[in-house]
Structure 1
Amino acid sequence: MLHKRVEGFIKEPKKALLKLSLPVIIGMFVQVMYNVVDTAFVGRLGAESIAALTFSFPVFFILIGLNSGLVIGMSSRISRYLGEGKKEDAENTAMHGIFLSIITSIILTIVGMIFIKPLFSIFGAAETVLHLSISYMSILFYGMTFMFLSFIISSIFSAQGDTKTPTKIQIFGLVTNIILDPIFIYTFNLGVKGAAIATVISIFLSLMLSIYYLKKDSKLIIHPRSFKYSQKLVKEIVFIGIPASMIMLMMSLYVMIINRLMAYFGTDYVASFGLVSRLDSVAIMPIVALSMAIMVLVGMFYGAKRIDLVKEIVKYGTKIGIVFTLFIALLFFVIPSLFIRIFTTDTNLILIGKPYLQLDLLGFPFIVATMIISRAMQGMGYGMPGFVVNLIRSLIIAVPLSYLFVFVLGYGYLSVAVAALIGNIAAAIVSIIWFLYEIKKSENTRINKKKEAVVVADGFI
């Protein structure tokens, strides 16, 4: 059955891409709603409670980033094994992912509980907010293993080409969280701590549902008996995963640096940059989902040695992504104020954010190309290109240029958007060149192997 699914993807790659992408888009929307729901319920408790969540989210995002590295490393290897027809190796990879997830989550929980107070103090949390942040994050740390396992099991389904099951699990978790939040926050009068407890319980129940589906519907048989420790496999998962994790950590660092730069102009400029960034993340969300689906398909096609399909699906996915983002960019460009008003009615924030958003939109097509190609290369087993390209984009080009424009040349805040645009263009160019180089190298390797096979065959005749 699993082999037929892979054959179906190879037969109709474009249809497979759309089929895989749509559930992932829904799933990512659900993930965004988790934060929205928590913030909405906690928001009624007052400014200090909101601030506690605000300080907690970057820490939570870093943890998600570390876990996503394991998820991407494991998914990439599973997809390629399935493309090669090596089902048992794919099952063993899944078990490695599960064990690595458990070990990593336990280590992070211990480290997090030790350093949580000094960490929030560095962030600048006031004493009252500090207490709330620690109580919220401490509970989430205790649920870290549940969260990591839930994500890793969902990715096992996605790597098989089944993106519907993870979406069902995510929707179940969101609905559970919506039901439990008011009960623990208001009925039990636990406040911010109640929001954390509700989140951990919903994650735990989602994990139980994941395990149920894993036993019932997974085409891969996931059992400790299928585990055969392989140092080579661990290295490969980590080799792909660490750069993927570093990308998310690097983006967090980039935002922190730009926030600090914007503070030079005033608090309103920091707030406006935050609003534009939020609009960006919503607009790009479907592209992130598209790129994840491309990673799975590229892994299968690359494993099956169908380099032609790798090129076809990346080209097709990039076209879809650019067309979609151009449509969104046009809407944002024509009526930017309308979209900014979703988050604020402050006239000054709208005036500051409007031209920044319009400049920011010019980078969308380049972001699409970079994101899709980076994921495709992760699917091929190359984790480093995505990291290097994002490093070039943000910390090597965008940040230095922003400081040059603002502090040396004396340009205004809009020059920060120009610096980001230059970084996005450079990243897209490097991505395309690197991808074409790796594709050409793979094609040449395949041709050489065919020639060697012919020579060997002739020798026997």
Structure 2
Amino acid sequence: MRYVRPNLARPIIKLAMPIMIQGVLFTLMGFVDSLMIGQLGEGAISGLGNSSQLLSFSFLLFAALSTGGSIMISQYSGANQQQKLLHVAQSMVTTGWLCGVLLASIFFSYAEELIAILTTDVFLPREEWSEVPVIAGTYIKIVALAVPSMLLSQMISAVFNSTGNTKTPVKISIFFNVVNFAGNYILIFGLPIPGIVEPLFTPLGLRGAAYATFIASVGQSLVLLICFFRKFRIVNLLVPEWTSLKQIIELGYPNTIDGFYWQGARVFYTVLMNSVGAIAYAGYAIIRTFKGLFMLPVGGLQQATAIHIGKLLGAGKFRQAQASASSAIFAGLAIMTIPVVLLILFAHPLLSLYKIQAETYDLAYMCIWILAFSLYFTSINSVIPGLLRAGGDAKSVMNTTLISFAVVGAPASYILGVWCDWGLIGAFVGISLEEVFKAGLFVRRMRSGLWVNNLVRSNLR
């Protein structure tokens, strides 16, 4: 960390600010949307939850495209290799929407069956299925029509971000998040004015939320596509450039695998907390929500770090890249102090929003203090993967995630939570120890400089 110079973090923070703002607004919009759906009852809540899980899991398959492509574009941008940059951008966007069409057809044709896998209804005779696959299936069939637009937007946004233009996709995303929010209110409830006017037309319920998502997703993709054409002058979006596509996948596939590792770990901890008891799982679910909310600022910093470091490496400024990497880590730690302080100050007001038992409240409050400590290590674990991927060292991120979970996270949470009978507190301490161990591995990898050498050998041939 001897290279730390605070002024080197300024361009990273400048890039990160729009992404941070987008993340906060997107999360708040999602929270409000879930509250709207929450007015429709448990069936709609379950239907939306399972649908969202299916979409999130499926989109992990395409993380290789956005991550690998972003790495290459940031490098080529720094090296002023415009033609190669355009080939990568064309391959990303073309492959994205074509895969979206394929995924949409699968969702539309097998919506209920896919949801039944998540709910385990698939193991029962069809006539004994619960109502959730039917409810969620109706939602998924409508949203499926928007999946090509969703993936198109994801790829175009990644192209803009990796060239350093983080403002354009963020502005467009914010506008259509508001469109989605307004559409939800209008279509779910029929545009009532509480206490003044009854719904102006028949409320569509969960189907209304699906239509709002479709409208916002298609609109966002069209606006982004227009901006993409104007910026890059690429008109052929029917066939990818195969050499570039191969390089994109080679660089990006570890990120997809890393996502599956992360999902697997999340499933393990969910099962573990359920085995401890309903109170433990309720407390864990609350803390996990808080963690996602208060980690939003460094999520933007991770993307910005990858973009800036990638440009420096592409330009051959290796020593400056190493110094900027160290500065980005300290910037992340400094920024994280604000969410940590807010989390501690507002712990009681936040917990009071939940109608939970006193025992659950007390356990969750104790876990908040553990979470506040671990957030600093989670900040490191968010920033360093960005710079490692920027240097083409994505495999080390994948391996570190797996090793940390297998060596520390899983055994420590089980031993402390179940074997020692410390319940939620013990299990959450084990999860936090995983973050500490992982941070140590990431710092060691960064200081080794192997990610810089990897880039020199493989990416700018």
TM-score past 0.5 threshold = yes
Answer yes or no: is 1:184 the counterpart of 2:162.
no
Query: Which whole-Å CA distance do the structure 2 matches of 1:440 and 1:48 have between them?
Result: 48
Query: Which whole-Å CA distance do the structure 2 matches of 1:275 and 1:239 have between them?
Result: 38
User: Which structure has more helix as a fraction of its residues?
Assistant: 1
Query: Which whole-Å CA distance do the structure 2 matches of 1:226 and 1:41 have between them?
Result: 39
Query: Which whole-Å CA distance do the structure 2 matches of 1:259 and 1:415 have between them?
Result: 14
Alignment check: 8 A CA contact 1:392 1:423 kept: no
2:45 pairs with 46, 50, 67, which one?
A: 50
1:142 pairs with 141, 145, 148, which one?
A: 145
Alignment check: 8 A CA contact 2:381 2:438 kept: yes
2:330 pairs with 319, 323, 326, which one?
A: 319
Query: Which whole-Å CA distance do the structure 2 matches of 1:130 and 1:414 have between them?
Result: 35
Query: Which whole-Å CA distance do the structure 2 matches of 1:39 and 1:84 have between them?
Result: 44
SS of residue in 1 equivalent to 2:423: coil
Residue 167 of structure 1 corresponds to which residue in structure 2? 170
SS of residue in 2 equivalent to 1:318: helix
Residue type of the partner of 1:243?
P
Residue 453 of structure 2 corresponds to which residue in structure 1? 442
Residue 369 of structure 1 corresponds to which residue in structure 2? 380
Residue 226 of structure 2 corresponds to which residue in structure 1? 212
Deviations 1:202-256 (A, max 9, x none): 010011111222234x2x333329977233x223211232222233333222222
Displacement after TM superposition at 1:161 (Å): 0.5
Residue 456 of structure 1 corresponds to which residue in structure 2? none
Displacement after TM superposition at 1:440 (Å): 8.0
SS of residue in 2 equivalent to 1:22: helix
Residue 29 of structure 1 corresponds to which residue in structure 2? 24
Residue 453 of structure 1 corresponds to which residue in structure 2? none
Residue 397 of structure 1 corresponds to which residue in structure 2? 408
Q: Following superposition of structure 1 onto structure 2, how do residues 294-305 of structure 1 map, counting pairs within 5 Å?
A: 294-305=305-316
Residue 274 of structure 1 corresponds to which residue in structure 2? 285
Query: Which whole-Å CA distance do the structure 2 matches of 1:441 and 1:159 have between them?
Result: 18
Displacement after TM superposition at 1:396 (Å): 4.0
Residue type of the partner of 2:309?
V
SS of residue in 2 equivalent to 1:381: coil
1:95 pairs with 81, 90, 93, which one?
A: 90
Displacement after TM superposition at 1:31 (Å): 2.6
Deviations 1:341-380 (A, max 9, x none): 3455653332121112212222222222222111101111
Query: Which whole-Å CA distance do the structure 2 matches of 1:227 and 1:122 have between them?
Result: 34
Q: Following superposition of structure 1 onto structure 2, how do residues 49-448 of structure 1 map, counting pairs within 5 Å?
A: 49-124=44-119, 127-187=130-190, 188-216=202-230, 218=231, 220-224=232-236, 229-231=241-243, 233-333=244-344, 336-344=347-355, 346-439=357-450, 442=453
Query: Which whole-Å CA distance do the structure 1 matches of 2:344 and 2:403 have between them?
Result: 27
Displacement after TM superposition at 1:142 (Å): 2.1
Query: Which whole-Å CA distance do the structure 2 matches of 1:207 and 1:141 have between them?
Result: 15
Alignment check: 8 A CA contact 2:310 2:391 kept: yes
Query: Which whole-Å CA distance do the structure 1 matches of 2:135 and 2:104 have between them?
Result: 18
Residue type of the partner of 2:234?
I
Query: Which whole-Å CA distance do the structure 2 matches of 1:27 and 1:444 have between them?
Result: 30
Deviations 1:260-280 (A, max 9, x none): 111123222212111101111
Residue type of the partner of 1:416?
A
Classify 1:19/1:342 alpha carbon distance in 2 versus 1 (closer, same or farther; 3 Å).
Answer: farther
Query: Which whole-Å CA distance do the structure 2 matches of 1:406 and 1:439 have between them?
Result: 37
Residue 451 of structure 1 corresponds to which residue in structure 2? none
CA RMSD of aligned residues (A): 2.5
Deviations 1:296-323 (A, max 9, x none): 0111001011112211221111111112
Query: Which whole-Å CA distance do the structure 2 matches of 1:354 and 1:20 have between them?
Result: 35
Query: Which whole-Å CA distance do the structure 2 matches of 1:344 and 1:38 have between them?
Result: 20
How many equivalent pairs are there?
432
Query: Which whole-Å CA distance do the structure 2 matches of 1:62 and 1:320 have between them?
Result: 31
Between stretches 114-123 and 306-315, larger displacement belongs to 114-123
Query: Which whole-Å CA distance do the structure 2 matches of 1:246 and 1:221 have between them?
Result: 33
